[in-house]
Every structure is written in C-alpha cells, then in structure tokens.
Amino acid sequence: MKLLVFQHIECEHPGSMRQLLSSDGIDWDVVELDAGEDIPPLEDYDALWVMGGPMDVWEVEKHPWLVAEKAAIRTWVREMKKPYLGLCLGHQLLADALGGICGPQRPPEIGILDIELTQDGQMDSLFAGLPLRQKCLQWHSVQVVTPPNDTTILAKSIACPVQAMRVDRCAWSMQYHVEVESDTVANWADIPAYHDALIDTLGPEGFALMAEGAKEHLGDFEGYAGTIYRNFMSAVTKTDC
C-alpha cells in the first residue's frame, strides 16, 4: 500500500497518524504544494490524504498551484474512485474541486469544540467505534456551504452543519482536526494568519485557552485518530470502499 499526502504548509502534516503509518510500515510520499513541488503520477498510489493550510480554496491567483491540486483531487475521486481523506482545508478542497461551494465561517470556529455524528455518520465505516459526540480541535474561518453531488453529511456542529462528509463511497473529509499532537497548537500559533484568528476569536488569552484545552483532551484526540486511521486503512483494502 502506498499513500500520497498533499501538504500546504510544513507544520500541517499527518500529525499523530505518522506514528501509525510508521508502525504499519506504510510507504508514504509528501508533496509540499506551497513550496512548488510537483504532483506525481496518481496511478502510483493507493490512497490520498489532503491536509490543512492557512490559504482559502478560492485564492487561486495568490496560490496558483491550487488549480492543479483541485484537478488532481477531481481525477482521484471522480475518475479513479480511490480512497481519499481530507482534513480542514482538505475538506474544503474536496467540496470545491467537485462542484460544491465554500464560504466564510461566521463566526470562525476556533477552540476545543463539540461535533456530533449524524445518523448517517453513526452508520459510516470511517466512524465505527467513535462516540456520538466528540471534542475536537477547530481552527477554521471557511466552511463548506453547499456539498458536492453524491455527498452524505456525517457530522455537524451548531455553527457548521457540514463538519464531516463522504462523497460517493471512498472520499471522506472532516472540517475539524483529528491529527493533533502535543505541540500542534504551539506550532500552528506561530503562523501569523492562525495566530491573528486565534486572538480575534478567543481574545488575548486565546493561545493559553487553546493549548490547555488541547492538552486536556489529547488522549481522546489520539484515540479518535487511531480509530479513524484503522477504519480508513480497512477501507483501502476493499475495492468498493
């Protein structure tokens, strides 16, 4: 099994799931799109993960590589029909690439917040073994407003009705983060756009509040990530997901 990972900033990587990949001996390649790296032939890979980033899906003039990335996602999901996992920006890119619509999240969702599985989410293979309600790390100012065709909504929150979705059978994505590690909040708070949004939303003590909340729930985050990882890898072994 060979995994391809699209990254949009160096510090937004697969996080806690890297150790799981290593333990399973999974061969995975990273394309750092913001650094100008080229997307390799998709035929060489069995699964695609698309991570988060500070840019917006519509900023194609500022980040022209978004055009090629969206085309690759569209080819992967609609034509190749191979397993996909998107987190935060990767969730939004899945929607945008397949004809959905993304727009501003007002107010932004930033903090350790609740999401809830929908009835479809409770029956979906990716979330098997997870609780109905979960604490998660949110750090986004954009949301999926209109999902693509063939989408099933899997999770929601009060502020954001499309917290997780599945497109067709094999493409899953989440607006929230499951890959959290002990240094995630500190690393992301060093990104100016993230730092400013954090302070604007949570106030001067925003970093301390976020770091404390992430530390308190880190064990749950790691457990949820492990469950999602195992469920996703199980899906990869099935030809029809």
Write out the catalytic residue numbers. 88, 177, 179
Q: What angle do CA 68, 73, 77 make, to 5 degrees?
A: 150
Question: Alpha-carbon distance 201 to 55, whole Å?
Answer: 18
Residue 94 CA to chain centroid, in angstroms?
10
Q: How many angstroms separate the Cα of 46 from the Cα of each of 13, 39, 181?
A: 19, 15, 26
| One-character DSSP codes across 191-234 | SHHHHHHHHHHH-TTHHHHHHHHHHHHHHHHHHHHHHHHHHHHH
Structure tokens given for 31:
């394309």
| One-character DSSP codes across 107-159 | EEEEEEEEEEE-HHHHH-GGGTT--SEEEEEEEEEEEEEEPPTTEEEEEE-SS
